[in-house]
Amino acid sequence: MSTTAPVVVHPDGELLARATAARFLLALVDAQSVATPVHVALTGGSILVDTLRAVAADPLRDAVDWTAVHVWWGDERFVPAGHADRNDREAVEALLGDLPLRPEHVHAVPGPDAVADVDAAARAYTEELARHAAPGEAVPELAVVLLGMGPDGHVASLFPGRPSLGDQSLGALAEHDSPKPPPERISLTLPTLCTAHQVWLVVSGEGKAPAVAAALEGTSLPEAVGGTGDGESVPAGRVQARGRTLWLVDLAATSALP
């Protein structure tokens, strides 16, 4: 099934990052005018780090009450706190370290320095999400989730053909054998991503163009490029936010669209 999600195209990656940063800041201001606190989720990836740097440089950042923002991770690599491979370390360096966030509102996924294994990390993160959920809910309402996408169409740490893609629970799951290193990761489940008010897929570069086309068409990629070749949608094409799903891309990422 193809998607009807809007696709906003920017000329290049730099403008994509700057425009996404401005959009993100305004979305936070809007969300804060309705309810507080506001929860957001970030993931890793090059364009998202560029976007976080652009948020740091944007004067609009002062319009957000950062003391009432909770930050979660859509996925994290299971390596110790402070490790160069961690998504949260990149985010702290690019932006979070610069903001007046409350430390207890920055929800890092525990690493091997804190818990026994990747399953324990996923369980702990699921419990942490539940602690911040509204009564009767399993996870907090995420106002905006920022997702990068891999060339195989993966989002967060939900990879094509992996059992994790079918996990119907709400919370976090453990991935033991990710095709993208490192193999052990923690990811929000697909249903959790889909409870978000808005999910934005932020994608840059020609290398991602076949996956953008497959996701928008709701189909698979060939096995040779990390897909399943079975006609079932790549993970990115399965994300449907409760409110709005938005593709924010640069021109190069659209080069395989009809």
* Binding residues for ligand 6PG (CB under 6 A): 43-47, 75, 77, 87, 148-150, 154-156, 180
As beta bridge partners, residue 248 has 8, 202
Q: How far is the CB of 33 from ligand 6PG (least distance, A)?
A: 29
Q: How far is the CB of 159 from ligand 6PG (least distance, A)?
A: 9
Q: Which helix (H) or strand (E) holds 174?
A: strand 172-175
The nearer residue to ligand 6PG, 110 or 150, going by C-beta atoms, is 150
The nearer residue to ligand 6PG, 44 or 171, going by C-beta atoms, is 44
Q: How far is the CB of 170 from ligand 6PG (least distance, A)?
A: 19
Q: How far is the CB of 247 from ligand 6PG (least distance, A)?
A: 14
Q: How far is the CB of 48 from ligand 6PG (least distance, A)?
A: 6
Amino acid at 7: V
The nearer residue to ligand 6PG, 60 or 251, going by C-beta atoms, is 251
Coil/strand/helix, residue 227: coil
Read off the tokens for 114: 């804190």
The nearer residue to ligand 6PG, 61 or 77, going by C-beta atoms, is 77
**DSSP annotation string for 64-127:** S-GGGEEEEESEEESS-TT-TT-HHHHHHHHTGGGS---GGGB-PPP-TTTSSSHHHHHHHHHH
What Rg, from alpha-carbon coordinates, does the chain have? 17
Coil/strand/helix, residue 175: strand
The nearer residue to ligand 6PG, 34 or 80, going by C-beta atoms, is 80
